[in-house]
Amino acid sequence: MQIRFGRLTMNVNTATTAFYTPGLSLVECACDLSGIRSPQTLEEEYVGDRHRLEQACSKLLGMLFSVKRVKPQSNLKKIKVQSFSQQDATSTTFDEQQIDGTIRFASVSDYYLRKYQIRLSFPMLPLAHTRLGDFPLGLCFSAASESRPFNLP
């Protein structure tokens, strides 16, 4: 409130945009969107019925997030979710080139364990697909100041 032009005036600003909480994992976002309280339950539900999680994850498309990495300076890069994989981190495999030039067949969960000593907390959940590759949801965290077009229940 302030006095302007000889009158007492009140300026009311309303925010019509909801924001993601910075540093919230995409697993926690999917839990909130699907109405499931715990990430462990989310993984169990996903294995049993993928439709509920896929519906919740569709609301995360276009969201910017950062990936938890071993080097903290790499965590600052924001990446946009383009889609979600149909397979989980244990089923998704690729050819990994070794230092000696040989090719090794590896799953995403094995790769993170071997290369970064990170045991994925939710290896049965799908991967976030981006232009830079696929990332496990448990290692993806919402970026600061990322708005969302809806409110959580």
What does pLDDT average to over the chain? 80
- Look at residue 123 and tell me whether its pLDDT is greater than 70: yes
SS3 128: strand
What does the pLDDT read at residue 147? 59
- 107 band by pLDDT with thresholds 50, 70 and 90: very high
pLDDT digits (tens, 9 = 90+) for 89-106: 999 988 888 788 888 888
Which residues, 6 or more positions from 95, have their beta carbon under 8 angstroms from its beta carbon? 103, 104, 105, 106
Residue 118 pairs with which residues in a beta bridge? none
Looking up tokens 């300026």 gives 11
What does the pLDDT read at residue 153? 45
Give the C-alpha separation, 21 to 6, whole Å: 42
- 35 band by pLDDT with thresholds 50, 70 and 90: confident
- Look at residue 125 and tell me whether its pLDDT is greater than 70: yes
Tokens matching residue 136: 């496990």
Task: Count Cβ atoms below 10 Å from residue 142 Cβ, excluding itself.
Answer: 23
- Look at residue 36 and tell me whether its pLDDT is greater than 80: yes
Assigned CATH for 19-148: 2.170.260.10
